[in-house]
Amino acid sequence: MYFSHHKKCREELRRRFVKAELALFKIRYETDDREERQEFMRVHKFGWAEADDKEMQLHGDKLAEASSWSTQAANAQEKYYKVKWTRVPDLVEKRRVFLKDGMAYVPAREQSSIVFQEFSSSLEKALERTAKELPRLDEDTRIVPILDNLSQGFLAGVSSEWTSASTTADGDEITADMVDELARKHFPMCMRNLHECLRRDRHLKHYGRLQYGLFLKVLGLSIDEAVAFWRRSFSNIQDDKFNKEYRYNIRHSYGLEGKRANYAAKSCQQILTSDQPGAQDSHGCPYRHFAPDNLQTALLSTYSSQGLTSSDLPEIMHTVKAGHYHVACTRVFEITHSAQEVKKGDGVGGGDSVTHPNQYAARSRELEKAILDARKADMDGDVPMS
Amino acid sequence: MTTEKEPLTPELMLAFYRRLYPFKSVFNWLNHEHTPTKLFTQREFAFTLQGDVYLRYQSFLSVEELKKQVCTMNPTRFEIGPMYSARPRDRKTVRPGSFTPLLRELVFDIDMTDYDSIRTCCSDAAICNRCWAFISIAVRVLDQGIRDQFGYKHLLWVYSGRRGIHLWISDKEAMALTDEQRKALVGWMTVIQGGKEMHKKVNVRVKSNPLPPSINMALDTLRERFVDLILIDQECFQSESGYEELLKLIPDNIAVSNLRTKWRNTERSSKQKWTDIKKEIRNAGGENTLRGSLIFAAMEDIILQYTYPRLDAEVSKHRNHLLKAPFCIHPKTGRVCVPVDPRTIEKFNPENVPTINQLLQELDLGSQDATQNSEHHSDWEKTSLKPYVELMDRHVLALMEEVRKSKRGAGSSQSSSEMKRLGASHSRLPCLLGEHARLSLHATIGESGKACEASSCG
Ligand SMILES: [Zn+2]
């Protein structure tokens, strides 16, 4: 467990801690009755002012238009609270308030968002302070086991992490030469797409390299093989440019440069929600980030050799349309592994849905290996007689 | 756009730094006051030297020291980072974990390459006066939106020297934004999303509700420019592939098949095609019917998709992102990265921006003035760089005036005497120069600084 031994990891742990505490707080806050809530607000002085009549008149309909996203019905007499926008970054980021001259106008029914923001930021500050006051915390032998325990607690139940230890059962290393074949046989659509883009353009943009590079790392590509793989893939680029602009980043993602953090490969959740692809990008989740017609074309051209046909598409597109991207991906896994006797509902084993690209690839390789082993056993003739 | 014919020799660069680069203006702009504060002394500079060696974590105690070092190292360009909690050049001597970025201008980067899928006049690195219109629209919309919604006043727009533009915001609140807040602000400003394989890149409505007010405001500006630029100038929908892209954005099968039939059989301009879509709204029963309202909303989204600013979000999200300093020379074009007045951005023509060769010719390099040791504090006044430096100085004046006012309000400051004390003890200057020659081509971020500090000078 590397969690408590690096600065980066302590930050990660802190982030998870804040997240868990916030979840707990939200439950408590939302189950309190209204009076208790108002009392809580009064005591903690959150620093907002009610928008006065003049402001209400000045901004008029825009206030309501800006909160038209809310599922709770607005009433005509609704109050708005005025708060510095920097206090409610989550509402600003999602464009859920009216914003004028640096002030965010929050509808009364969304007040809780402000409270949650304040709660997590004050908790974060307190934790940061603690970290600064105890810079050698991680070297204290009494405290390390406790922290390790804690960090495992946070990892448990968070299926987003997929560590290399659990992927390759027998620690198979893969080489740069193997990637083409592995991609064809075992990769989920997101990685197939990145692989095709890389082969076609002989280049990938930053987040594409990051998403694909970390995936390959966890798949078992060593640092030397990774450098070899990317060097050969970027065949339009001169050696010195490659060394200058890309080698460092590859080494960095293996924890050999900079912060020396052992970066995990991105989970489906992260791929779906963070670093949204820009207009020229190829990373992301194809089920979510491709236009429907492009997704269908891509699925057919990618997986028809593994048994996917156009008659499978309506079902897949239906789940995509409903926003169940992981279900669509899982279904594709089932269809493309029907030769290995995977049936509908089996998922990536035990009925599980895909939550991580490496889980998809690892399961696919396991299935292949099981069949090869069985075949080998057949040939060796040491199948137990029945 | 034509690029510089003559190569940018180190001699030219050195003459430019010695005689023309407005160090004082840049210092005032970064420092907000006349005497050096932490905003300057704890600020990271990063130099790109000849041969592409990259030196990070440089810092300076005064504008004279900065100029001296720039003239000694003669970088091809240099970048500006945040103010850290300690002086960047001393970062190895402070306790680990306590060297963190604190303050930094809020910056934006808009680059022509993000418009490659739309513009028809040029592609890749090429840029002409026509496609510059995309950038000028972006400036107009961002400048207006940030002032209106966030209330920031001190916005400096800087031409990047080739095919883009940078924005630096120096308001006190903007300088102090956390990475999380920067990310939120970028999210607010971002409208174009979805990867290469996504046709529809604008998804800012909730169901079929009207656009949020801030985007509606942008749309008012964009509507008119859309006609001039997309329909008339760029003729984006003239070719079959162009109008097919357009049809993919219209969520109405009947209208799409009507339009496709019409457009296949007769040659129609982009403007006529746009009118044809409006007719489809009437055929569907007008804007107040369900079908009509969906096509109408789609037309608004199309205007946004083709003209709304495309931001390089990563640049803006992190305090420690480095960005090329104003007035540097773009190594490929030889043009100066000059400040630009957003109010007259439509008139700005990148091809008229002075190049280093032009400026040095204006100075008459042959004259005796160019001897090695003479100082030329305001030689830029004699060249066409003058209006740009003056633009910068006016911007800085307003910024300093506000800082002065707020300080007067907050009582006297103790920072200037503290700064003088710090200024007395700098000594490591010569070290850097001797060392940089030895750095290998593979020197990378972070490493290069280390190589220097590990050397024997002390
Ligand atoms: Zn052009």
pLDDT tens sequence across A239-289: 888 888 888 888 888 887 766 677 788 999 889 888 888 888 899 999 999
The answer to whether A363 and A188 have CB atoms below 8 angstroms apart is: no
User: Which residue in B95, B150, B195 is closest to A277 by CB distance?
Assistant: B195
Q: Is B44 a catalytic residue?
A: yes
- How many Å apart are CA A174 and CA A38, to the nearest integer? 59
pLDDT at A385: 43
Do A255 and A311 fall into the same domain? Answer: no
Question: How many interchain CB pairs under 8 A, A with B?
Answer: 138
Interchain CB contact of B209 with A (< 8 Å)? yes
The one catalytic residue in B4, B33, B105, B111 is B111
Instruction: Indicate the residue type of A207.
Output: Y
Does residue A169 lie within any of the structural domains?
no
CA of B45 to nearest chain A CA: how many angstroms apart?
A: 18
Q: Packing angle between helix B253-265 and helix B290-307, nearest 10 degrees? A: 60
Contact flag A131-B97 (C-beta cutoff 8 Å): yes
pLDDT in tens, B225-235: 999 999 999 99
Q: Record the pTM.
A: 0.69
Cα→Cα distances A181→A301, A307, A385, B110, B177, Å: 16, 17, 36, 39, 47
pLDDT in tens, A17-59: 777 777 777 777 767 666 666 666 666 656 667 778 888 878 8
Given a cut of 80, whether residue B368 has pLDDT beyond it is no
Contact flag A89-B183 (C-beta cutoff 8 Å): yes
Q: What is the domain extent for residue A208? A: 176-273
Does residue A55 lie within any of the structural domains?
yes
**Three-state SS annotation for chain A:** CCHHHCHHHHHHHHHHHHHHHHHHHHHHHHHCCHHHHHHHHHHHCCCCEECCHHHHHHHCHHHHHHCCCCCCCCCCCCCEEEEEHHHCHHHHHCCCCEEECCEEEEEHHHHHHHHHHHHHHHHHHHHHHHHHHCCCHHHCCCHHHHHHHHHHHHHCCCCCCCCHHHHCCCCCCECHHHHHHHHHHHCCHHHHHHHHHHHHHCCCCHHHHHHHHHHHHHHCECHHHHHHHHHHHCCCCCHHHHHHHHHHHHHHHCCCCCCCCCCCCCCHHHHHHCCCCCCCCCCCCHHHHCCHHHHHHHHHHHHHHHCCCHHHHHHHHHHHHCCCHHHHHHHHHHHHCHHHCCCCCCCCCCCCCCCCHHHHHHHHHHHHHHHHHHHHHHHHCCCCCC
- How many Å apart are CA A213 and CA A219, to the nearest integer? 10
Among candidate residues A102, A127, A158, the one where a domain is terminated: A158
- CA–centroid distance, B118 to ligand 1, in Å, is 11
Q: CA-nearest residue of chain B to A96?
A: B212
Query: Scanning the structure block, which residue is given the tokens 């003739």?
Result: A381
Least confident residue range of A19-28, B237-246, B408-417? B408-417
pLDDT in tens, A178-202: 999 999 999 999 999 999 999 998 9
ipTM, 2 dp = 0.84
Do A267 and A318 fall into the same domain? Answer: no
pLDDT at B439: 32
Does residue A226 lie within any of the structural domains?
yes
User: Which tokens go with A202?
Assistant: 């002989």
The answer to whether B176 and B191 have CB atoms below 8 angstroms apart is: no
List of chain B residues whose C-beta atoms are within 8 Å of the C-beta of residue A258 = 445-446
Do A187 and A132 fall into the same domain? Answer: no
Q: What is the band of B304 on the pLDDT scale with cuts at 50, 70, 90?
A: very high
User: Which residue in B97, B197, B312 is closest to A7 by CB distance?
Assistant: B97
Q: How many domains does chain A have?
A: 3
Region B196-202: mean pLDDT is 84
CATH number at residue A135: 1.20.930.80
Contact flag B97-A258 (C-beta cutoff 8 Å): no
According to CATH, the superfamily of the domain at B10-112+155-187+313-457 is DNA primase, PRIM domain (3.90.920.10)
Do A199 and A253 fall into the same domain? Answer: yes
Does residue A329 lie within any of the structural domains?
yes
Do A203 and A297 fall into the same domain? Answer: no
Among candidate residues A230, A249, A273, the one where a domain is terminated: A273
Share of chain A above pLDDT 70, in %: 74
Do A260 and A351 fall into the same domain? Answer: no
User: Which tokens go with B184?
Assistant: 């939120």
Q: What is the band of B16 on the pLDDT scale with cuts at 50, 70, 90?
A: very high
Given a cut of 80, whether residue B174 has pLDDT beyond it is yes
Contact flag A291-B248 (C-beta cutoff 8 Å): yes
Given a cut of 50, whether residue A340 has pLDDT beyond it is yes
Does residue A167 lie within any of the structural domains?
no
> CB neighbours (10 Å) of residue B261?
10
- How many Å apart are CA A127 and CA A121, to the nearest integer? 10
Do A129 and A32 fall into the same domain? Answer: yes
CA of A98 to nearest chain B CA: how many angstroms apart?
A: 8
pLDDT at B353: 96
Q: What is the band of A334 on the pLDDT scale with cuts at 50, 70, 90?
A: very high
Instruction: Please give the mean pLDDT across all residues of chain B.
Output: 85
User: Which tokens go with A335?
Assistant: 């269809």
Please report which helix (H) or strand (E) contains residue B278, including its range. helix B270-283
pLDDT in tens, A304-333: 889 999 899 999 999 999 888 999 999 999
Region B6-21: mean pLDDT is 90
pLDDT at A230: 93
The answer to whether A306 and A336 have CB atoms below 8 angstroms apart is: yes
pLDDT at A383: 45
Q: What is the band of A167 on the pLDDT scale with cuts at 50, 70, 90?
A: very low
- How many Å apart are CA B352 and CA B306, to the nearest integer? 27
Contact flag A278-B310 (C-beta cutoff 8 Å): yes
Do A245 and A184 fall into the same domain? Answer: yes
For chain B, the domains span 10-112+155-187+313-457, 192-307
Please report which helix (H) or strand (E) contains residue B122, including its range. none
- How many Å apart are CA A278 and CA B109, to the nearest integer? 14
List of chain B residues whose C-beta atoms are within 8 Å of the C-beta of residue A116 = none
Contact flag B187-A92 (C-beta cutoff 8 Å): yes
